[in-house]
Each structure stands twice: as C-alpha cells, then as structure tokens.
Amino acid sequence: MSVATQNDWEQCVAFHGHECPGLAIGYRIAKAAQNKLGVSFSPDEDVVCVTENDACGLDAVQYLTGCTLGKGNLIYRDRGKQAFSFFVRSQNKKLRVVMSLKFDRDKMDREALKKQILTMPDEELFAFSEPSYDLPARARLFKSVTCEQCGETCSERNVRLHEGKQLCMDCAPDYSRGW
C-alpha cells in the first residue's frame, strides 16, 4: 500500500515543514520516476534511490518513494546536482532524472516558480536517462565495536586503528594531507 494519497503534495509539505520550489522539484521527480518505472512506495529495499544532493526535494522523494537512509535504499552521492537515480531490483530497471529547467535564483518569484514546477510537463522539466553506474549493493549489517577511548559503540566499518587501539571516527586523529 502506498503512503501517498490524492493529498500527497500536502503530506510532503507537512513532512518537510513548508512549501518551496525545491520540495516541488523532488515531488515531481519522485512522481515522474514512479510513473516511468511503474512502481510506488517501497516498504523494503526493492526500489533504491541515489540522490546527488541534500536539498529540499529529497524530503519529497523520501516521503513518496519510501527510500530512506535508515532502510538502506537511499544513497547520498554528493554531486550538488538536482539529479536522482532510481533502481528497481526485482525488475532490473533503472532511471536517472535530472532537473533541466533553468532559472535565476536571484530574480525568481518563489511562489510562481513552485507553481510552474508543479504544472509543467515532465519532458520540459526533466532529462531522463540511464545512470552511468550500477545498482548499489544491498545494505549490510556490521558488527558494533566499542571505541577504546570514549566507550561509545560504532559500526565496525567506521572504526579506525590508532596506535593499536580501535577508535571511533570522532576520537581517531585526522589523517588528511589536503586531499
């Protein structure tokens, strides 16, 4: 059963906290992807979303698709783009949706832009293609390890060894050399 109903825009707004053009972008991207892939809300990891931003629209994508960080079917791939790739594991389908509408943020009327985004045809608003990368692996469960300095537990994959001790990332000294 889908969480989204005929009032799904209002529910996305309630989830996000306010109406804005960014939320409208995510709303339309999620709807377009669901229509093109023939899927709805994903209660499991069958539908996977790889987001290339952490902007407002991501809240609508999460709410409508069921793709979340906690469930492991939302992956953050920071590129600063209004782009989302969707994969349907059971059907071996994939789709990348990129915002193609150009606008000047400094000169825009936010309300008019939001209305424009909510009513434009998909083909004028987005570019559709296949992602250039493969379907990400299913989420893994890792053992918990206790940091030998602060005593807090963290995922085994985030432990750092320092002078023979297992340390969480907050306690481990930084070892970046500018790259």
Query: What pLDDT shows up at residue 1?
Result: 30
| Exposed/middle/buried for residue 159 (C-beta within 10 Å: 0-12, 13-18, 19+) | buried
Domain ranges of the chain: 8-129, 140-179
Query: What pLDDT shows up at residue 4?
Result: 44
Per the CB < 8 A criterion, the answer to whether 128 and 97 are in contact is yes
pLDDT digits 0-9 by tens, 1-16: 344 455 899 999 999 9
| E strands, 26-125, in order | 47-51, 74-76, 83-88, 93-99
The CATH architecture annotation of domain 8-129 reads 2-Layer Sandwich (3.30)
Query: What pLDDT shows up at residue 76?
Result: 96
pLDDT digits 0-9 by tens, 102-158: 877 778 899 999 999 999 999 999 999 999 999 988 888 899 999 999 999 999 999
pTM of the model: 0.83
Residue 48: DSSP 8-state = E
Asked if the domains 8-129 and 140-179 are classified in one and the same CATH topology, the answer is: no
Does CATH place domain 140-179 in 3.30.60? yes
pLDDT digits 0-9 by tens, 78-106: 999 999 999 999 999 999 999 998 877 77
